[in-house]
């Protein structure tokens, strides 16, 4: 059985303080009382550092009183009450200093624990965003393609085969995303983390998307910072996922990365969905995610801006603008 020594600091200080006060007022030798008061100082620091607030406050009050009042009985009858108060105030200073030292260490430990909690929470939020940004995209692709294959299997078997190939590619993509998440979890233990995909993988992403068209400017790609590059890829993933969820009948989805007056612009625009397609192939799910809302925070953290809204042809357009390297958007 283990004994928690920290739990006895407050009771020990309280007993020692009461004993010291009784000894001082009952006429114990001044040298012994002074030594006893000195021994109370480290106990005061330990109580301020480790003891619970309620019991520690009571014990600390007794300890400060014992240290401050030990010379008062010696001055009784030979000094005025003002001199006695001055002596008590003088001897209270080391007791308060001991409490302050212990309290400072307590605050430092509390801030460190809070920093660890904040770090863990940020890591959990980062992993949740990764799962939403990447895995949800591939899983939604699997569901849409499976629904499409079911409806065309009898009339057009070759299209069903193509849908199955896309399902396979999306499944592999989901596995890769899960691998990145696992690597991120292992990173804290010292393992190397898999790199987060960037705009260099836009071609593979758009190629797996039916009706997807990619237009990239190599100079624009080089103008993105590393953070903006990975965020731009996340914007594309989220926008394409939303197209699958809300406009599965869109004939054309154009992904464009180019230089603009404001900086480097990534846009994802889909045409108006074919009438009835959303009913036929739409995902059967309720509620919505936090996709664009969370993505806006990522884009702004990378120094950019995010806009989304309906286009003139009845489709939808998502546009993210990032500052070119060496520039900041105003």
- CATH code of residue 311: 3.30.565.10
Asked if residue 225 is part of any domain, the answer here is yes
Cα distances from 141 to residues 104, 132, 133, 235, 244, in angstroms, run 55, 13, 13, 16, 7
Asked if residue 188 is part of any domain, the answer here is no
In this prediction, residue 291 carries a pLDDT of: 63
In this prediction, residue 45 carries a pLDDT of: 94
Asked if residue 190 is part of any domain, the answer here is no
Question: Do 209 and 84 fall into the same domain?
Answer: no
Angle at 129 between CA 127 and CA 134, to 5 degrees: 95
Asked if residue 217 is part of any domain, the answer here is yes
Q: Which of 34, 36, 42 is nearest to 87 (CA)?
A: 34
In this prediction, residue 214 carries a pLDDT of: 93
Asked if residue 163 is part of any domain, the answer here is no
Question: Do 202 and 108 fall into the same domain?
Answer: no
In this prediction, residue 194 carries a pLDDT of: 52
Residue after which a domain boundary falls, among 89, 113, 137: 113
Residue after which a domain boundary falls, among 80, 113, 146: 113
pLDDT tens string, the chain, 330 residues long: the values are: 445 677 889 999 999 999 988 988 888 888 888 899 899 999 999 999 999 888 899 999 999 999 999 888 888 777 788 888 898 999 999 999 999 999 999 999 999 988 888 887 877 777 777 666 667 667 777 777 777 777 777 777 777 777 777 777 777 777 666 766 666 666 655 545 556 688 988 998 888 777 789 999 988 988 898 889 989 998 998 888 888 777 777 788 999 999 998 899 999 999 887 665 444 444 444 444 456 777 888 898 888 999 998 888 888 999 999 998 755 444
pTM of the model: 0.49
Question: Do 205 and 330 fall into the same domain?
Answer: yes
Asked if residue 128 is part of any domain, the answer here is no
Residue after which a domain boundary falls, among 90, 113, 136: 113
In this prediction, residue 250 carries a pLDDT of: 79
Classified as helix, coil or strand, 98 is helix
> Domain count of the chain?
2
Asked if residue 137 is part of any domain, the answer here is no
Q: Which of 130, 82, 157, 155 is nearest to 237 (CA)?
A: 130
In this prediction, residue 328 carries a pLDDT of: 46
In this prediction, residue 94 carries a pLDDT of: 94
The domain of 234 spans: 198-330
User: Which DSSP string do the residues of 55-96 spell out, in sequence order?
Assistant: HHHHHHHHHHHHHHHTTHHHHTTTS-HHHHHHHHHHHHHHHH
Angle at 124 between CA 298 and CA 225, to 5 degrees: 30
Asked if residue 208 is part of any domain, the answer here is yes
């Amino acid at each position: 059985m283990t004994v928690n020594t920290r739990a006895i600091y407050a009771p020990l200080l309280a007993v020692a303080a009461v004993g010291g006060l009784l000894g001082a007022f009952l006429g114990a030798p001044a040298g012994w009382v002074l030594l006893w008061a000195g021994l109370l100082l480290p106990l005061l620091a330990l109580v301020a550092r480790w003891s619970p607030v309620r019991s520690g406050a009571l014990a600390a009050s007794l300890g400060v009183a014992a240290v401050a009042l030990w010379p008062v009985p010696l001055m009784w009858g030979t000094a005025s009450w003002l001199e006695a108060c001055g002596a008590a105030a003088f001897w209270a200073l080391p007791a308060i200093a001991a409490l302050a030292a212990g309290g400072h260490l307590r605050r430092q430990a509390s801030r460190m624990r809070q920093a660890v909690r904040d770090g863990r929470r940020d890591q959990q939020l980062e992993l949740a965003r990764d799962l939403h940004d990447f895995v949800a995209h591939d899983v939604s692709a699997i569901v849409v393609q499976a629904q499409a294959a079911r409806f065309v299997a009898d009339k057009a078997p070759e299209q069903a085969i193509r849908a199955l190939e896309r399902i396979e590619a999306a499944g592999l993509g989901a596995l890769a995303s899960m691998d990145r998440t696992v690597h991120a979890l292992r990173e804290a233990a010292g393992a190397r983390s898999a790199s987060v995909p960037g705009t260099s993988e836009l071609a593979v992403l758009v190629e797996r998307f039916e009706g997807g068209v990619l237009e990239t400017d190599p100079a624009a790609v080089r103008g993105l910072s590393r953070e903006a590059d990975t965020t731009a890829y996340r914007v594309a993933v989220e926008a394409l996922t939303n197209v699958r969820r809300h406009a599965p009948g869109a004939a054309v989805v154009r992904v464009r990365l180019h230089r603009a007056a404001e900086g480097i612009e990534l846009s994802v625009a889909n045409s108006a969905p074919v009438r009835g397609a959303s009913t036929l192939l739409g995902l059967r799910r309720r509620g919505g995610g936090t996709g664009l809302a969370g993505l806006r925070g990522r884009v702004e953290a990378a120094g950019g801006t995010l806009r989304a809204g309906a286009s003139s042809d009845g489709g939808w357009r998502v546009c993210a603008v990032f500052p070119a390297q060496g520039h900041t958007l105003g």
